[in-house]
A and B are shown apart, each in its own frame.
Chain A
Amino acid sequence: MTETVRDTQAQIIESLRKLLKKPATLGPTTNIVKDLQLDSLAVMDFIMSLEDQFEIVIPLDRVAEVETLGDLALVVDELRGRK
């Protein structure tokens, strides 16, 4: 994992922690849907807030391939690099 991915992941985890009502152990292998019990709508709204946080566009088809927080960090990091 590169330095920028690690940094992106830390920022995503911090935002997610604020969103979740219950405390949870969050790491690169955390499954966003199964472990956090977020429904599809909540996940899509979280993606929208990440777009604002990082000033990027995350098309929905890129979200489809995401399962874990690690996957999400890779996608966000790649899109950040493209800016």
Chain B
Amino acid sequence: MSILSKFAPLRQTYDQLRSVGQNPFEMVFEGMLSSTEGMYRGRKTILLGTNNYLGLTFDEACIEESVAAVRAHGTGTTGSRIANGSYGTHRTLEKSLAKFFNREHCMVFSTGYQANLGMLSTLAGKGDYLLLDSDSHASIYDGARLGHAEVVRFRHNDPDDLHKRLKRLANEPGQKLVVVEGIYSMLGDVAPLREFAEVKREMGAWLMVDEAHSLGVLGDNGRGLAEEAGVEADCDFIVGTFSKSLGSVGGFCVSNVEDFDILRVACRPYMFTASLPPSVMASTIMALRRMQEEPQRRKRLHENAERLYYGLRNLGFAVGPQCSPIVSVAVADAPLAVEFWNRLLEGGLYLNLALPPATPTPAPLLRSSISAVHTPAQIDRAVQLFEAVGRQLGVLPPLVNTTARKRVSTPISAPPLAEVAMLASGGIR
């Protein structure tokens, strides 16, 4: 018996998944052509699942800063900030973020995942309570598990349910920290933050907002949902990531809470890991600037999101409850989702396959994330491809047009795969 025997059921599911076609969780791209196109198995593939919301990964200025930093400061810091010390760039990055968010304090982490791991496990200690939205990201659940606080879930995006649960804890002495996300990563739905802030105020809790998918996406200045909802003063802690809108890697937390800096010597996922390399920080600082200098990126992002969301919705696909740069289509079951995903890929479109229990409901999702730099033509191609595969697989009803109605004796067959591939390469249009 192997130490890995416990994973036998997972192995079985995983092997089944791989047997259908490409492995959705081990995609290897031969190269990236731009923020929206990559080479996969020798062909150009549209990238529609990379959370590259502002398309800054190939921004000239960001690349130049990164190159200059690697030449000036080397390839890595080779250790943690408490042991090896900080570089000036760590401080500059923290100051830039604090200024952008109009906050006193900022700490950066090596990944967004670690920002949540660190903040949740350290802020809420023994005897305290963490109140988590039931659809929270894995990093939030893992941060809760790493710490010693009592963890309570409330119903997704339901301020009344949070209120009820906080009320049950009213006589408990510990601190209560409520954690919500700006935009939820699976369905793209937005938290009713104004209402959550009201509950937080009334019940005397602390509030943390994870703006991973909403930084650069929501708010007049791109500060996220807290800005858009006009409740920044109620959000005690904002966490986020550099790996989406800012096009690099890393995480952060900004706050006005007094004595915040004590966390630098208390927060283990901050203390005991190698700090961000200078090249990553340099491009991030520039990306933050580009994001502020070019608000038109955000405008284009939303236009693109609408084009995809309504394009798919009007065809009859089951999309999420509201339009955002995350557009997910729910399909009936896992085998269908895997087949659908493979056919889209064969047609030259890459997006994310999300299977339960990573999804909020038992329905698997074909998850897209749109970018400001997707062209309308790329989005239209994606919608056409979705339609073609949707009809082939019976997710959408077969097309009944006037010609088909006249020729009743001819059965309406789904378009063959070759046609789908042609649609993807723009051959038909």
Residues of chain A touching chain B, judged by Cβ–Cβ distance below 8 Å, are 39-41, 44-45, 47-48, 51-52, 55-61
Contact = CB atoms under 8 A, between A and B. Distances in A.
**Dominant SS at the A interface?**
helix
A59 B131 CA distance: 10
Given A41-B356, A44-B134, A60 B169 contact: no
A36 B139 CA distance: 28
B298 to A, nearest CB: 33
A64 B324 CA distance: 35
Given A41-B357, A59-B152, A60-B152, A48 B144 contact: no
Q: Is the interface of B mostly helix, strand, loop or mixed?
A: mixed
Contact of A61 (B134, B150, B165, B356): B150
Contacts, number: 36
A39 B151 contact: no
Nearest to A63: B151
Contacts of B134: 44-45, 48
Contacts of A52: 164
Contacts of B169: 57
A48 B132 CA distance: 12
A59 B134 CA distance: 13
A51 B165 contact: yes
Contact of A60 (B144, B154, B155): B144
B138 to A, nearest CB: 12
26 contacts: A39-B356, A39-B357, A40-B357, A41-B356, A41-B357, A44-B134, A45-B134, A48-B134, A48-B153, A51-B152, A51-B165, A51-B168, A52-B164, A55-B168, A57-B152, A57-B168, A58-B152, A59-B129, A59-B150, A59-B151, A59-B152, A60-B144, A60-B150, A60-B151, A60-B153, A61-B150
A44 B153 CA distance: 9
Interface string B126-165: 0001000010000000001000001111110000000011
Given A41-B357, A55-B168, A57-B169, 16 more contacts: A39-B357, A40-B357, A41-B356, A44-B134, A44-B153, A45-B134, A48-B134, A48-B153, A48-B155, A57-B150, A57-B152, A57-B165, A59-B150, A59-B152, A60-B144, A61-B151
